[in-house]
């Protein structure tokens, strides 16, 4: 059966765009979250310090590393170096200051850290970290689960599983009921509005008997640490919303408040204007046209997405692609870097 005309037209347009991108000056913007490890990391957000150190050596050796804002200005002008790169972090974990920043300084690699303003100085953890420590707590979890729509019959006969560090959400299946619970809680929590999400996170902590305070290994930056990070040579601060919601699921009013309030708060805390935004989650499904309008209305100069593509002159200023980095060795990172230039 032949494709409808509109489908063929879209496919042809995408093919033309790929061809133009390959012939244009383009670069890779890398997306990291954490530099800590090793630990149980089911969302694959963590890169070990040793591997991050190796990544930075590869970037220095094989690319022209630019500060993100310079990268963006040169991208728009079509004047990127032949193998341009930029480094970014999302969320605002404390290890960005204590572990990542010294390694960045050692290699003289600039970076932009996109911070979730509502988590600065927060007593608790990001909601996905609460889900992880709840689902895999050694304590028994009684039925029912406190999050609407999540089925849970309770533990039969005792404590939760001891989870192998190698398991992650990209693997098929659920080895135990706790893994199934983890997947279900992630899906249910992700779609909640900020207020409901915060209440659900508290209900999870109460259900599992967990403290409200964050684990030292998972906490966000304090206001003082954010200020210190912003003063590090080569480090700039960007915005990542107030509460890290899926913007596309919120009303336009809530989206505007998430992005404008984040920019205002972070600018006040660091004493200079925040110019760049990274959409929370940032995939095509997470960012709507309303999200783009909200970013423009909030006064940002550019907004960055989570999309496995090189950035070039034809990339939208409001959806600049970034490539997610995992905990790869230096050799594997170099191999993937070479493959990204061929995209």
Q: In terms of residues, how long is the chain?
A: 343
- pTM for the model stands at 0.92
Those residues of the chain that have pLDDT short of 70 are 1-23, 156-165
Structural domains of the chain sorted by starting position, each given as residue range(s) with its CATH number in brackets:
5-120+220-340 (3.20.20.370), 127-208 (no CATH)
Q: Report phi then psi at 65, rounded to 5.
A: -85, 125
Tell me what pLDDT residue 1 has.
47
Q: Which residues lie closer than 8 Å to 178 by C-beta, 6 or more apart? A: 135, 136, 160, 161, 163
Q: What is the pLDDT of residue 22?
A: 59
Phi, psi of 179 (to 5 degrees): -65, -40
pLDDT of residue 161: 61
Q: What pLDDT sits at residue 283?
A: 97
The token duo for 105 is: 């300084």
Measure the CA dihedral 212/137/141/118, to 10°: 30
Continuous segment of H or E residues that includes residue 295: helix 289-297
User: Could you tell me if 139 and 288 are in contact, meaning their C-beta atoms sit under 8 angstroms apart?
Assistant: no
The reported pLDDT for the residue numbered 114 is: 99
pLDDT digits (tens, 9 = 90+) for 52-105: 999 999 999 999 999 999 999 999 999 999 999 999 999 999 999 999 999 999
pLDDT score of 343? 82
Q: Sign of torsion, CA 304 289 201 260?
A: positive
Residue 110 tokens, joined: 């600039």
d(CA 297, CA 52) in angstroms, rounded, equals 36
Phi, psi for residue 239 in degrees, rounded to 5 = -100, 150
Alpha-carbon torsion angle 10, 15, 20, 26, nearest 10: 100
DSSP structural state of residue 142: P
State residue 212's pLDDT score.
86
**What pLDDT score does 183 carry?**
95
Strand partners, 30: 87, 323
Q: What is the pLDDT of residue 158?
A: 55
Count other C-beta atoms under 10 Å from residue 45's C-beta.
21
Given a contact cutoff of 8 angstroms between Cβ atoms, the answer to whether 152 and 144 are in contact is: yes
Per the CB < 8 A criterion, the answer to whether 181 and 136 are in contact is no
Closest by CA to 282, choosing from 241, 342, 311, is 241
Which helix (DSSP H) or strand (DSSP E) does residue 127 occupy?
helix 127-135
First to last CA, the chain: 29
In contact, 258 and 291? CB cutoff 8 Å: no
Residue carrying structure tokens 């912003």 = 230
> Cβ(111)–Cβ(100) under 8 Å?
yes
Enter the tokens of residue 76: 């728009």
Structure tokens at 239: 């915005």
Interval 271-283: pLDDT, tens: 999 999 999 999 9
Give the pLDDT of residue 19.
57
């Amino acid at each position: 059966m032949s494709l409808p005309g509109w489908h063929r037209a879209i496919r042809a347009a995408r093919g033309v765009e790929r061809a133009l991108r390959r012939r244009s000056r383009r670069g890779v913007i890398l997306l990291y979250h954490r530099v800590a490890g090793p630990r149980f990391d089911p969302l694959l957000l963590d890169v070990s310090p040793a591997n991050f150190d190796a990544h930075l050596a590869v970037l220095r050796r094989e690319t022209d590393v630019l500060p993100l804002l310079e990268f963006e200005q040169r991208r728009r002008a079509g004047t990127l170096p032949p193998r341009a790169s930029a480094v970014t972090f999302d969320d605002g974990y404390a290890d960005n200051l204590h572990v990542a920043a010294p390694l960045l300084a050692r290699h003289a690699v600039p970076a932009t850290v996109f911070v979730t303003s509502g988590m600065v100085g927060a007593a608790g953890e990001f909601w996905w970290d609460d889900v992880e420590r709840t689902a895999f707590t050694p304590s028994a979890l009684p039925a029912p689960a406190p999050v609407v729509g999540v089925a849970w019959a309770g533990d039969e006969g005792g404590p939760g599983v001891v989870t192998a560090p190698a398991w992650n959400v990209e693997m098929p299946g659920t080895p135990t009921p706790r893994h199934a619970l983890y997947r279900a809680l992630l899906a249910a929590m992700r779609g909640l509005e900020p207020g409901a999400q915060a209440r659900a996170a508290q209900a999870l902590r109460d259900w599992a008997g967990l403290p409200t305070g964050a684990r030292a290994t998972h906490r966000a930056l304090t206001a003082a640490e954010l200020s210190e990070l912003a003063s590090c040579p080569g480090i700039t601060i960007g915005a990542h919303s107030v509460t890290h919601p899926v913007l596309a699921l919120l009303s336009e009013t809530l989206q505007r408040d998430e992005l404008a309030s984040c920019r205002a708060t972070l600018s006040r805390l660091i004493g200079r204007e925040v110019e760049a935004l990274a959409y929370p989650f940032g995939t095509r499904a997470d960012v709507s046209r309303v999200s783009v309008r909200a970013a423009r209305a909030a006064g940002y100069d550019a907004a960055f997405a989570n999309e496995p593509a090189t950035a070039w002159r034809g990339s939208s200023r409001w959806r600049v692609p970034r490539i997610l980095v995992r905990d790869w060795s230096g050799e594997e990172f170099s191999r993937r870097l070479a493959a990204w230039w061929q995209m």
